Structure 1
Amino acid sequence: MRKHVMEVNPGDLLESDIFNDNGVFVLRKGTPLTSESIVKLVQHNIDYVDIEHVEDITEEPHQTSSLQKLEPQFNEAIHAFESIFLEALTTGKFDERDVDDLLQPIMHELTDQKDVVSLLLMLDRKDNYTYNHSMQVGMLSYYIALWLGYSQPNAYKAGKAGFLHDIGKSKIPDEILNKPGKLTPEEYEIIKLHTLHGYEIIRNSVQDELTAQVALQHHEREDGTGYPNGLRDEQIHPFAKITAIADVYSAMTSNRVYQNKKELISVLHELYRLSFGKFNPEATQAFIRHMIPNFIGKKVRLSSGELGSIVMTNPADFFRPLVKTETRFADLSRESHIDIQEIFI
């Protein structure tokens, strides 16, 4: 069967050897096509190929089923965190057993869930920002710790610390915390106190100094420009460095009362730039390196108005992938005037 290159799918088998117009060998007969080999055909300006057999190798149904299984647990966790948050507001502490009972089954499920981008898209909601954000930061902190080589128990500690990093915001007045406009300098100073409040609440609730340190230090920066103490580099706990990355990524990719969310890959690019001074480079680059493959196959809306899906990352520019639309392949590394506006499942 003869197919246009735009119509072939991963799993299709080539019926004959493929050569380009200059006689250069491209792909061998019987090769099962992958996203990368389809891109190779496009790069060699090959329009049509003969397909021997079509076999759908996509794992999307399994991934969708896995996500559907996790969604009720995440919903429960988000509602439960609201109760923990309110308990901290009224009593200045919380029951650590409630946190562990909530997080342990979720972290266990996350071990087998590799598509972190789909998890983030599932958690992308317009309501309850504070609680959704805490769930995202806990999840991302857990993954980053694993990607850095921490053991499962230590990755859980990192995830738990990330989950509780903003508990101090329970002590910030709602009119400041949820203000739709820009904060005044005085209001910003009050917001910054959430790190100190968080430290106190956690120390009143758990025996673990580490978790409290993360709440205190997650706004510190490698170059000393952070708060509350202007710590630098080695003075910042490694888990606080991890949470800082997860915190900023979640915040920038979520809708907030004063700011619309930004597109997921562009925020990774921003974190990459910030890894040269503000954020720990090892943790940031591990995060980016493991996140980028998750975007393959995701649907996108381009600034040109075109809809498509990401078929390949560009080795020369991870943040400008190749997108297959209904009519063409758009190489964003070459079409700098076009950006990804939205990514969705």
Structure 2
Amino acid sequence: MRVHVTDLKPGDTLSSDTFNTFGIHMMQKGHILQPDDISKLLKHGLDYVDIEETVINDDNEPHHSLIEAKVQFDTALVGFQNLFLNAASRGEFDGSQVDAVLEPLMDELHTQKDVVSVLFVLNDTNNYTYTHSLQVGMLSYYLAIWMGYTEQEAYAAGRAGYLHDVGKAKVPPEILNKPGKLTPEEYEIMKKHAQYGHDIIMESTGDELSAIVALQHHERADGKGYPNGITLDDIHPYARITAVADIYSAMTTHRVYQSKQELLRVLKEIHRMSFGQLYAEAAQTFIRNMLPNMIGKKVRLNSGETGRIIMTNPTDYFRPLIETEQGFKDLSIQSALEIEEIFI
């Protein structure tokens, strides 16, 4: 099947050898295209390539593998809800149930490479507290893998991320679910969830690693975090990972008091925070691995136009090249244009 290069998607498989306009061999038959490959083809000016035909799904239906991931997500969501409610009523939860819920989910995530699409599919619930905890667990797992941790270590990081906010079970509901901005007094109460989480996890499981992550996930490298105002060297490596995952999920998920923000804008904010607030290696690794997942995603611009991200811009990673029906839009040059929404 012959397709235009701008219509390629990560995962497409070349059905014939590919050559550039000078006859130089670029990619061989059977090569599975990655985001960087598509960018390379564009840069070399290719118009069309041959790919293997695949079964076309309805645009409104997620890929089968994503449906499988959602099954595991829904199970984990119910599991966390039960855990959270038990922590709220009894101050502890059944620690034996955590791995029973997480292991199938993490096994499924191990097969998923397009993290952005996974988060889109798993972000269709209105319950921010539960969804956020699952997303942070998943993103902590992915980030640990990207940073070179072993599978076992990454699972531990994901487990800690999953439990990081359990202390919110002890925050009064009228504060936790308040639709407006918290008062200074209410914010001080909210901040106690970090210590609550540490204590609940220790009481329930004795898992010191997850407990320290719950305690430290709002600490910052510059010492301006909470609850103890410690600096980078005293923050556990997994808490540094969870902090990045926590910020990304919080800023890209609807909450009772805040609408989700556009994904590239959030990555840009994490980039800014990597200079002094977040652990730079974790933040930069996260950005570097998330950006390729944006290629091929649909966007809606502030001009009303819709299109698709074709490639990230080497001069400004957060203002990519967009193809619309009206033509290509280079956001690094067309400064008046902004992405208002990214979707699949």
Distance 1:262 1:3, change over 3 A: closer
Aligned residue in 1 for 2:234? 235
Amino acid in the other structure paired with 1:39: L
Q: Secondary structure at the match of 1:301?
A: strand
SS in 1 for 2:63: helix
Aligned pairs for 1:2-81 (under 5 A) are: 18=21, 35-36=38-39, 39-40=42-43, 54-56=50-52, 64-81=63-80
Alignment correspondent of 2:191: 192
Question: Structure 2 vs 1, CA of residues 307 and 207 (structure 1 numbering), >3 Å: closer, same or farther?
Answer: same
- The code of the aligned residue for 1:241 comes to R
Equivalent pair of 2:6/2:310 in contact (CA under 8 Å) = no
* Cα separation, 2, equivalents of 1:176 and 1:82: 18
Distance 1:288 1:93 in 2: 35
Q: Is the 8 A contact 2:125 2:131 kept in 1?
A: no
Letter in 1 for 2:51: E
CA contact (8 A) 1:6 1:328 kept: no
Specify the alignment match of 1:156 in structure 2.
Answer: 155
Q: Deviations over 1:239-291 (max 9, x none)?
A: 11111110010000011111110011110010000000100000001101111
Deviation per residue, 1:89-147 (Å, 9 max, x gap) = 11111111111000011111111211000011112235110000000000000011111
> Equivalent residues in 2 for 1:86-105 (5 A)?
86-105=85-104
- Taking the aligned partners of 1:250 and 1:206, their CA distance within structure 2 comes to 25
1:266 alignment counterpart: 265
Q: Return the offset for 1:8.
A: 9.0
| Shift of residue 55, structure 1, vs aligned partner | 3.0
Separation in 2, partners of 1:93, 1:343: 39
Identity %: 53
Q: 1:80 to 1:66 in 2, by over 3 A?
A: same
Q: Against the structure 1 CA distance between its residues 162 and 6, is the aligned structure 2 distance closer, same or farther, given a 3 Å change threshold?
A: closer
Once the two structures are TM-superposed, the CA of residue 6 in structure 1 deviates from its matched residue by 7.1
Amino acid at match of 1:36: S
Unmatched 5+ residue regions in structure 2? Answer: none
Unaligned regions of 5+ residues in structure 1, if any?
19-24
- Offset at residue 38 of structure 1 (A): 5.5
Give the CA deviation at 1:231.
0.5
Question: Max radius of gyration: which structure?
Answer: 1
Seen in structure 2, the aligned counterparts of structure 1 residues 255 and 3 have a Cα distance that, compared at 3 Å, is closer
State whether residues 5 and 41 of structure 1, in contact with CA within 8 Å, keep that contact through their aligned partners in structure 2.
Answer: no
Aligned-partner SS, 1:246: helix
